Structure 1
Amino acid sequence: MTETPSTMQMVSFAAWRDGALHSGRQADRRYVTLAELLVRLGSFGLGLSWKARLFDRQPHPAFAQMVKASAGSGIPTLELLATDAPYRQAVDGDFEGYAGSELALTLREFDSSCWEVRTADAWVLSEIQRHYPDARPMTSDEWDTTT
């Protein structure tokens, strides 16, 4: 894995979102899933292979299967999306996207309350900030304390 910490940037945003208001109804709350984030990556994410690490002692069996399937060289994005896990809520986990042997992106689900994104790709960061306007920059120290 090749990583240059000085070029990596990190943002954090709330995992729970208010849905669109419907006439006469309260706003629905929804959870941003890994699947949603993978779709937001568009063509950038299609070429990545994913490795998953979960920090929950008793993850849902779908996540345990994902961790197993992603061992070694990782699991391609479309294969990952074809499994059940990305559509579920995990508690704590890192989902690392690799372009070949180089770490391109980390999606971190933290405490089921927020998502953290680390990448050197400016387009990915702008897409995250466009879709999740509450995304705020993080420092390396903040990133290191959420693992």
Structure 2
Amino acid sequence: MTAPLSLTFAAWRAGPPKRYVTLAELLVRMGDFGMDLTWRVRLYDEGIHPELERAAAGDRIGTLTLLSLVAPDRQLVDGDYDGYDADGRLVLELQEFDSTSWDVRTAEPWLLDAIHRWFPDAEPSPPGVWDE
């Protein structure tokens, strides 16, 4: 990924009704771009979602498979979701932190613009968010 930029936004949205932005919602909002990716998933809380843990233990999984494992109302706690294009390039990173925020990193400016439209509170990610 060249020159990635990142945004952070609150996972909980004010209501009414108050709601949580799920991984499924993010994937669906990305439309065709998200549907064409394969994903490497890392979860940090064992036992919360055994089916997703099993799928994540193997090779990358397609978006439709990932969507089938994360119900639209399913709140996960901590996880990293790395999206790869058909050429195997990392093009999108989603990080769910403590059920409080989402961090999105990509070199696709249109996607960051869309994230900001969908979630107007999105701001540049704080330093250190993407340290490995």
Q: Give TM-score, length-normalised by structure 1.
A: 0.80
Counterpart residue number, 1:29: 18
Counterpart residue number, 2:125: 138
Partners of 1:51 and 1:75 within 8 A in 2: yes
More deviation in 77-86 or 121-130?
77-86
Offset from partner CA, 1:59-106 (integer Å, 9 cap, x none): 41xx33223323444111112112245641111110111113211101
Give the secondary structure class of the aligned counterpart of 1:130. helix
Counterpart residue number, 2:4: 8
Give the secondary structure class of the aligned counterpart of 1:95. strand
Identify unmatched segments of 5+ residues in structure 2: none
What is the one-letter code of the residue matched to 1:77? T
Number of aligned positions between the proteins: 131
What is the one-letter code of the residue matched to 2:36? G
Counterpart residue number, 1:94: 80
Give the secondary structure class of the aligned counterpart of 1:90. coil
| Identity level (%) | 50
Partners of 2:24 and 2:70 within 8 A in 1: no
Using the alignment, how far apart are the partners of 1:86 and 1:68 within structure 2? 19
Offset from partner CA, 1:21-75 (integer Å, 9 cap, x none): xxxxxx221000000000111111111001110112x341xx3322332344411
Counterpart residue number, 2:56: 70
**Aligned pair in 2 of structure 1 residues 131, 115: CA closer, same or farther (>3 Å)?**
same
Identify unmatched segments of 5+ residues in structure 1: 20-26
Shift of 1:143: 2.8
The structure 1 segments of at least 4 consecutive aligned residues displaced by more than 6 Å after TM superposition are none
Partners of 1:11 and 1:137 within 8 A in 2: yes
Using the alignment, how far apart are the partners of 1:38 and 1:54 within structure 2? 17
**Aligned pair in 2 of structure 1 residues 86, 53: CA closer, same or farther (>3 Å)?**
farther
Larger Rg over CA atoms? 1
Q: Give TM-score, length-normalised by structure 2.
A: 0.88
